[in-house]
Every structure is written in structure tokens, then in C-alpha cells.
Amino acid sequence: MESGSWEPGRPLRIALLGCGVVGTQVARLLTRDAEELGQRVGVPVELAGIAVRRLGRERDLDVPDELFTTDAAGLVARGDIDVVIEVIGGIDPARELILSALQHGASVVTANKALLAEDGATLYEAAEKAERDLYFEAAVAGAIPIVRPLRESLAGDSVQRVIGIVNGTTNFILDAMTTTGQGFNEALDEAQRLGFAEADPTADIEGFDAAAKAAILSELAFHTRVTLGDVHREGITEVTAADIRSAEDMGCVVKQLAICEKLDTPNGPAVSARVHPAMISRDHPLASVRGAYNAVFVESESAGQLMFYGPGAGGAPTASAVLGDVVSVARNRRNGVFGPGESTHAHLEVLDMGQARTRYHVSLDVDDRAGVLAQVANQFAEFDVSIRTVRQEGSGSDAQLVIVTHEADDAALAATVNSLRDLDGVRAVRSVMRVEGGV
Amino acid sequence: MESGSWEPGRPLRIALLGCGVVGTQVARLLTRDAEELGQRVGVPVELAGIAVRRLGRERDLDVPDELFTTDAAGLVARGDIDVVIEVIGGIDPARELILSALQHGASVVTANKALLAEDGATLYEAAEKAERDLYFEAAVAGAIPIVRPLRESLAGDSVQRVIGIVNGTTNFILDAMTTTGQGFNEALDEAQRLGFAEADPTADIEGFDAAAKAAILSELAFHTRVTLGDVHREGITEVTAADIRSAEDMGCVVKQLAICEKLDTPNGPAVSARVHPAMISRDHPLASVRGAYNAVFVESESAGQLMFYGPGAGGAPTASAVLGDVVSVARNRRNGVFGPGESTHAHLEVLDMGQARTRYHVSLDVDDRAGVLAQVANQFAEFDVSIRTVRQEGSGSDAQLVIVTHEADDAALAATVNSLRDLDGVRAVRSVMRVEGGV
């Protein structure tokens, strides 16, 4: 018998790696709903072990003590485990444990976006070699089904663009800034007080978390390998109350967006993936995503515009996504098959940020005299950037130009803005922000 | 060799039944994207035949003439077809063709909500017996992935409630009434003029289409067989401009909703499924679904609130959903396996409308004299219905009472309203509408 292969008649054995916020919910539901889950899988399922960092910690779980172990490596290598759930997070030891689990015949369900974005190829390859499943619905946008729709529901369509609000912390902060007029630091404090931001919020506010998800979404949408390093990343720490007000004046809101696009280039279609704050029209479905909620907006050739909305984090929502995957891979184990693997057959070029097509909103403090607008307009023309609207505001020392461009290469837009800084009549570049989501 | 079983090496053969609005798009994409689809499936796919009612019709398709046939029964029984796509619609001959396709070894992808809601059990049973797939993402809410999320993504969760805007025609009409103040007939005329309503709009405006989808959604959400006859159905033809204004006064909009709920009863959990117009708060995510768009809002125990939004009809969007299913069942055929079948193990009781828990908004024309409010309030108390708010409006011959109840059995609410009609001080019941979607 092959190591880890399931013999009909015995229950499917599930091992859980990690028992933090998500793991506790997974263990609770796997225990409480074992019978119902077994019905859905078609054979009984059984929680066979839980790897934790320390034993003896108080856990609000109705699980026998002997299921807990600190020997995660031993648990995944036991040889009689059918499904391993990895909710430890981080690169190591999660990677070694997942690889060992696959080698020992288990399918793997993981919520580990960082690892998938960094080194998904190694995991996919190991899963394919082992003829086991690697499922990861919980890695992107928590409970919101988005991995399966991209991998399967839209498998007969051509996705053009995915725009996601995939980080609840930054959406909470920007939403608070929008509704209360708070500055960034105040809003971050409030988010931390309410538990929507961690004590060290770097991964969220600097865009690392969203960038990992953008890499995963891009790969799924465009059948091309995209890793974290391919994703342009900007955080929200520079967003000011003035930016938020400027957005309002334009009928927009500011959102931290993960944007994954297929662009036409002279060399054929290519992929662009980026994470940054942007203005988006209040009429766009993403504009009304409030608080810590997540949403993923998909534009595809045949289906048109789809949006998937829901809680993007939290123990129970993430556990829901994990258990949906567990039922799928358990059904597959029962049937001796495995689901879709990595799909990178398109091998599209991945563009750098300078080649992304964006629009800019630029506010300039300018001298209040004739000729400044012409000077500024010339500068845009020099970089071949077309202006869509210009608004002059205030007067005297308060004179401002607010410019919104048409779409252009991000490199040209950035170069234009840089050149404006040195312009005689321009006293300061007050704010620069991209505008996304169509008109 | 088993009839219809696929031998490695040959392409997967796909037969298409029906070449109307949806079928044309399916044929176009299957032809144009054959290579890309083959990559995604893992083996080449081939459009092997198209059954149509009449040959020789002008079709904007780059497909060899010899693929067309009027002999649908012969096509599905050929024995070398791996996947049959049914987009004819209606009960007969669609049912016989699907059953024959399964018996002859093909998996089936269908968009046929009417047939699934009427007699899904027969199809499921035939698919299970044949060890073939029956997939139907396109049957509910067009391009929006909702069948797969319920069948798979939420398979580890417990769905409590599904509220859908699943009929684009009625959403278009109610949205037009809301934004323009039009009456029902005017809005219907406009919808017909713009192609959002058919010449005979009965199936849409009387709720038959939405009721079929409610049956399908209920079965998927609650693992219990639910058919069209189990769904309470009311159309939108009685919705007046005054109802729309009343909703506005309450901070609500009127939507035609398909509501599928799991309710606790003294005999344990039970299922309720109903389609009717209702007021829903402007703050509810479903309230902002405009025009002919569809959306499905899902409340589940662990995942919380999810929403799926997109185009609910149209040739290309529906074709996207069909082709997503085609890729899934083709992958399954290649791997010699089949996906999830009917899941009705919960066998919950299906309640009638009287047992559904709802809230009512009631406007009464009343005599402008002391004591009428007390009379009316007494009537509600008699049926054990608790009042949440009462507003008195106008005076003299224009005096009105606007009452919103707390939640109660629909039977008690309906009986209360009936009894009000005979009350002395009540001159007329001006409007009655349910209020849904929480506070």
C-alpha cells in the first residue's frame, strides 16, 4: 500500500497544524460538525492530531488532550493522514511541513498567502508529483470564495482584470478617514484599539499582505506564474486627510487596491500586478465596501463584471473557507482523484510598474499668475500625457491646480510629476494619487 | 469499452443542444477558444455537433455546416460524446435529451432552471447511475458563480439564509420605478423597449423564473430536496408607485427577492423558500443592485455575510458559466471521475408560507378620529403580532396609519391584515409589503 493512501472503510484522517485564532475555529467545527461533514464527504472524517507550539495551554475546545502534539514534523509524516490543514502561517517551517505532508501521501489545505506568493511553485510541484491536492481558498479574502471561482467557475472565460480590496485593516483605516475626517495615525490607533490592526501593523499598512494576495490572484486569473517580487507595492501611510477630501471633490473614495490586469503590449498580452492606494468612483461597486470587509471585483470577457464580497479575515470566516476546501479534498481522496493543479500554461510576460496603465490625480500649489497653467500643461505634453480635467482653486498663496490625466504608462506619469517639482510656478506637489476602476 | 467512455489520446467531444442567444455564444467561444480551453482541461476539446430546430438559418458563427443537425436525440445517443450542453430550456424535450445523454455516457452541463426545479431529482439520479456529472452553474444568476460556492466553497459551513435578486427583468422594473417614479406598467413598457423584458413577460414578472432559482438554491444551501411547488411565489405586478414611496420614507427600496431560510421549529430545523417583492434597507448590500444586475446574499454560520454580484442573464455571461462547467466536467471525464452529486441528506421539512417568519409594512387609510389607533393596535395584539413602529400621517380624508411589525409568522400577519379590512375606522388597506434583510 502506498504511504498515506486511504483504504475504503476507514474514516478520512485530518491533521491540523496550528491552533491559533483560525486553527481553534477549524478544530471546533471539525469536532462539532464531524457527522455532517462526513455526510457531505461521503465517508466519516476524523480529527487525528493537532500540532501546537506549546502543550497545556488553555484552549476552549472539546478535543481529547492526546490529539495535541508539539511534533508537527512527526504528525505530517505519520503516513496515515489523508488531509493536512496548515494554518501556522509564515514561510518556515510551514513549507517543510507541507512538502513532507505531500510526500507522505496527504492532501494539503492551507491559508498561507505569504508562502504561496513566495514559493507556490515548489508546493504545486510537490502536490503534482505526489498526486495530491493543494487547496488554498482561505489564503485570499478569507471566507469569500474567490480562488475556486477563478480556478473553476471562470475556467471557460478570459479574465481581463481583478481589482480587490483584500486587506481589511487598510480598508478599515481608509474608511474611518473617509467617514470621520481623521488623519492616518488617528485612524490606525482606532483600528488597533478595536482589534482591526495588529500591534505591529507593517504587513497590512505597507501592503505586503495585499501584495501576496495580488500575486496569487494574478496567477489564477492569467494562467501565468506571478510571485510576490512581481507585484508593485505601496502602503497607505502617506495617504492624508487632504487626499481623502480631494477624492471626495472628484466623487471618489480612496481605497487600497490590489490590481491584477492583462494588458496588450507590442509583444502580445502581458500581466501587471500592483497594490497601492487609489481613488475610485463612488459609483463603482468597490466604493461601498465598508469597514474591515473585503471584496474582489472581476472583469472578464464573457461574464462581464462580477463582484465577490464578504468578511476577509477572522477565525470563523477563515475556518469556513478552510473547511470548504477540506470537504473538497476529502471527496477527492475518497474518489482517488485530485483537483486542478497549477495552471501557468499562458506564460505571459509580467510587466514592471512603469508599464502599468494608470491615471493620476495631481494637486499642485502654484503661483497665482497667468501662464502657470500653460507651463504645467506643457510639462504633461512633453511626456505625452494627456490631461482629462484641470480645476483651478483658491487664489494668492492658496492657489491650486487640480489635474486628472487620461490613461498613460505609469512611468510617464511619474516622470511628469517629478518634472513638475522643478517647475518655476509650482510651489509644491500637494498630493498625487492614481485613479482606478474606469471613469 | 463502455458506451461514451473517453479513451486517452482522442479529444473530448462536446455536443451542444440549442443555438439561440446562449447557444450561439457557447458555440462561438468553444470554437474560437478551443486551444486555450484544451490547455485548461488538459486534453483537446472539440465541438462535435449542434442540435438546432431548423437548419440553414443565418448564424454568425464560424462553424462547419455539417456540425448542425435537427436530430438532437440522435446526437446525444451517438455514443462518442463526452459532454452534452443543454441550452434549449423548458421541460420537454430537454428532460429526455439529458437523460439519454447520461445513459449514453456523456456528462451534462445545463442552464435549465425550470427543469431542475421541477424534476431535478430524476436528472441527479440518472447522473449518479451513469457515473457522470450534472453541472448547472448557469441555471441560477447567469454568470455569477453561486452554485459552485454553495456546493463546494461553503461545504464546510452551515448556511442559514440565502437572499437573492435572481431575476434581472424584475430588478430592472423596480429600479426604474424607484429612480423615475414610474408606475409598474410604464416601467414594464420601458423594460420591453430596451430588451430587458420579453414580449410575454409572465415568467419574470409573476415570479416563476425566480421561484425555480429559489428551489435550486434552497436545495443546495440546506441539503434538502426542494422543488418549484415548495416555493411560495408572488409577482411584482401589484407593486405601486405608492409602495415605492412608502419604502423610501422608511429608508428602504423595493426589491423582488428569492428568500431561502433555515428556520428553527418545535420539530427541529426546517426550510422556507419564497419569492415576493419586499422592502429592504438602503444600507443592505442588496439595495444597491441596480438595473438588470443580479446578486445573491448568503448568511452562514462561520463565513458570516457574503455577496455574489454580476450580470444575471444574457448570451455571453450565461455562456461563461456554461463553459466554466464544461471545463470542470471535461477535466473530470479526463480523470475518469465525477464531481459532487445531489446532496439531500439533511431531509429537512419544507415549511409552507404561513410558517415563514416575516415582518409587514402596512399603510391604512383611516378615519381621522380618536380611538382608531387603539382599535388597530388591538387587532394586531389579537393575532399576537407585535408592532415595531406606527406613524400617523395626513388628516381628515387623507389620514393614514403606517405600521411596521416585528417578526411573526406570515400566517398571523396575513390574518391580521385581513381582519383590519373589516375594521370600522379603517377605510382601506392602501399597501401591504414584507420587510426583509434584518433591521
Interchain CB distance below 8 Å, A335 and B340: no
Residue A44 lies in a domain: yes
Flag whether pLDDT at A383 surpasses 90: yes
pLDDT at position A334: 84
CATH of the domain at A429: 3.30.70.260
B137 contacts in chain A (CB < 8 Å): 153
How far is residue A44's CA from residue B181's CA, in Å, rounded to a whole number?
57
Both A128 and A244 in one domain: the answer is no
Which long-range contacts does B72-79 make (Cβ < 8 Å, 24+ apart)?
B72/B17, B72/B97, B73/B97, B73/B100, B75/B15, B75/B17, B75/B49, B75/B51, B76/B15, B76/B17, B76/B51, B76/B100, B76/B101, B76/B104, B76/B106, B77/B104, B78/B15, B78/B48, B78/B49, B78/B104, B79/B3, B79/B4, B79/B104, B79/B105
Both B28 and B158 in one domain: the answer is no
Residue B351 lies in a domain: no
Tell which phi-psi region holds residue B275, choosing left (phi > 0), alpha (psi between -120 and 50) or beta: beta
Confidence of residue B111 (pLDDT cuts 50, 70, 90): very high
Task: Name the residue with higher pLDDT: A32 or B337.
Answer: A32
Average confidence (pLDDT) over B282-304 = 94
B29 touching chain A per CB within 8 A: yes
pLDDT at position B3: 46
Residue A255 known to be catalytic: no
Residue B78 lies in a domain: yes
Both A51 and A105 in one domain: the answer is yes
A137 contacts in chain B (CB < 8 Å): 153
Both A305 and A331 in one domain: the answer is no
Q: Are A121 and A225 in contact (CB under 8 A)?
A: yes
pLDDT at position A335: 80
Both B124 and B197 in one domain: the answer is no
Predicted-complex ipTM score: 0.88
A59-63, A166-170, A394-398 — most confident range: A166-170
Strand pairing class (B12-17; B45-51): parallel
Scanning B9-28 for CB atoms below 8 A from A yields 25
pTM reported for the whole predicted model: 0.92
Residue B1 lies in a domain: no
Instruction: Extract the C-alpha cell encoding A425.
Output: 510656478
The residue out of A301, A335, A369 marking a domain boundary is A335
Of the candidates A113, A213, A255, A262, the residue annotated as catalytic is: A213
Interchain CB distance below 8 Å, B324 and A29: no
The residue out of B335, B369, B388 marking a domain boundary is B335
* Distance (Å) of CA A379 to CA A236, A383, A420, A431: 28, 7, 7, 17
How far is residue B144's CA from residue B111's CA, in Å, rounded to a whole number?
13
Confidence of residue A1 (pLDDT cuts 50, 70, 90): very low
Strand pairing class (B408-409; B426-436): unpaired
Provide the domain count of chain A: 3
CATH of the domain at A202: 3.30.360.10
Confidence of residue B37 (pLDDT cuts 50, 70, 90): very high
Both B254 and B129 in one domain: the answer is no
CATH of the domain at B112: 3.40.50.720
Both B301 and B386 in one domain: the answer is no
Both A208 and A270 in one domain: the answer is yes
Residue B410 lies in a domain: yes
- DSSP per-residue letters across A348-400: PEEPPGGGSEEEEEEEEEE-SSTTHHHHHHHHHHHTTPPEEEEEEE--GGG-E
Average confidence (pLDDT) over B238-249 = 94
Residue B31 lies in a domain: yes
Provide, rounded to the nearest whole percent, the portion of chain A with pLDDT above 90. 85
Domain span at residue A292 reads: 149-311
Both A215 and A295 in one domain: the answer is yes
Q: Are B313 and B142 in contact (CB under 8 A)?
A: yes
A331 touching chain B per CB within 8 A: yes
Both A178 and A216 in one domain: the answer is yes
3-state secondary structure of A183: coil
Both B136 and B242 in one domain: the answer is no
Q: Is the peptide bond before B93 cis (omega within 30 degrees of 0)?
A: yes
Of the candidates B113, B213, B255, B262, the residue annotated as catalytic is: B213
What tens digit of pLDDT does each residue of B175-184 get? 999 999 999 9
Average confidence (pLDDT) over B105-120 = 96
Residue B54 lies in a domain: yes
Q: Tell me which of A262, A302, A309 to substitute to probe the interface with B (most B C-beta atoms closer than 10 Å).
A: A302
Average pLDDT of chain B is 93
Average pLDDT of chain A is 93
Confidence of residue B9 (pLDDT cuts 50, 70, 90): confident
What tens digit of pLDDT does each residue of A240-290 get? 999 999 999 999 999 999 999 999 999 999 999 999 999 999 989 999 999
Residue B260 has φ and ψ, to the nearest 5°, of -120, 120
B242 touching chain A per CB within 8 A: no
pLDDT at position B56: 80
Nearest Cβ partner for B148 among A152, A319, A345? A152
Residue B343 lies in a domain: no
Both A217 and A297 in one domain: the answer is yes
